[in-house]
C-alpha cells in the first residue's frame, strides 16, 4: 500500500466520505489500489492548493500564527464549534490556538455536527471548489440548504463581487 509518511487521512467529512492528502504520486497510487481492490467505492481527485490538515501545512501555520499575532480575539457572541475539536469554544485564546491547530490536524466533521443543537441554522462561508458538496450538504444529507455566503475566486480592491 502507498500509505506512508507522505499521505494522511486529512478529513473525515461524513460517515461515508473521507479525504486523504499528501504527495500527488502517492495519492495516485492509492487511488489506483482502491479502484482495483474496492471497485464499489466512488473515488475522486480534488485539485486543491495544498495538503491541508496535514503536517505539510506547518510553514503556513507558522505564517498564520505570525499574522494572528497582531489580531485581538474577543469572546464570540455565540460559541464557535471549530473542526479541530468539534467542541463549542468561547475562550479567545483557545479559539486562536484551535484555528492554528486545524491547519495541520485531521478534521473529523461528524463530531462537529453532533455538537450542533437540532434547531441550529448553519451559516457557512463557501470557497468555490468546482461544484463540490458543501458543509451544509453534509449536515443536511443533501436536503434544503441554509443561507450561504460564497466568496468570489478573485476580488480586486475596490471592486464589488
Q: Tell me: pLDDT of 46 over 90.
A: no
Nearest to residue 65, comparing CAs of 22, 98, 90? 98
The answer to whether the Cα torsion of 137, 16, 97, 70 is positive or negative is negative
When pLDDT is averaged across residues 115-122 and rounded to a whole number, the result is 63
Which tens digit of pLDDT belongs to each residue from 88-108? 899 999 999 998 998 898 888
Residue with the bigger pLDDT between 16 and 36: it is 36
Residue with the bigger pLDDT between 15 and 153: it is 15
Which tens digit of pLDDT belongs to each residue from 4-24? 678 888 888 887 888 888 888
Distance from C-alpha of 19 to C-alpha of 30, rounded to nearest angstrom: 12
Cα 49–115–124 angle (5° rounding)? 40
Amino acid at each position: 500500500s502507498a500509505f506512508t509518511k507522505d499521505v494522511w487521512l486529512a478529513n473525515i467529512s461524513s460517515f461515508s466520505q473521507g479525504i486523504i492528502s499528501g504527495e500527488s504520486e502517492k495519492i495516485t497510487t492509492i487511488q489506483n489500489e482502491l479502484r482495483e481492490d474496492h471497485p464499489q467505492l466512488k473515488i475522486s481527485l480534488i485539485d486543491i492548493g495544498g495538503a491541508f490538515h496535514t503536517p505539510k501545512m506547518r510553514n503556513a501555520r507558522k505564517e498564520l500564527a505570525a499574522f494572528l499575532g497582531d489580531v485581538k480575539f474577543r469572546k464570540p457572541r455565540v460559541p464557535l464549534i471549530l473542526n479541530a475539536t468539534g467542541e463549542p469554544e468561547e475562550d479567545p485564546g483557545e479559539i486562536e490556538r484551535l484555528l492554528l491547530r486545524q491547519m495541520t490536524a485531521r478534521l473529523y466533521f461528524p463530531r462537529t455536527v453532533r455538537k450542533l443543537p437540532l434547531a441550529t441554522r448553519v451559516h457557512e462561508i463557501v470557497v468555490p471548489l468546482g461544484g463540490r458538496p458543501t458543509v451544509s450538504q453534509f449536515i443536511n444529507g443533501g436536503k434544503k440548504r441554509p443561507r450561504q455566503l460564497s466568496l468570489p475566486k478573485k476580488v480586486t480592491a475596490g471592486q464589488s463581487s
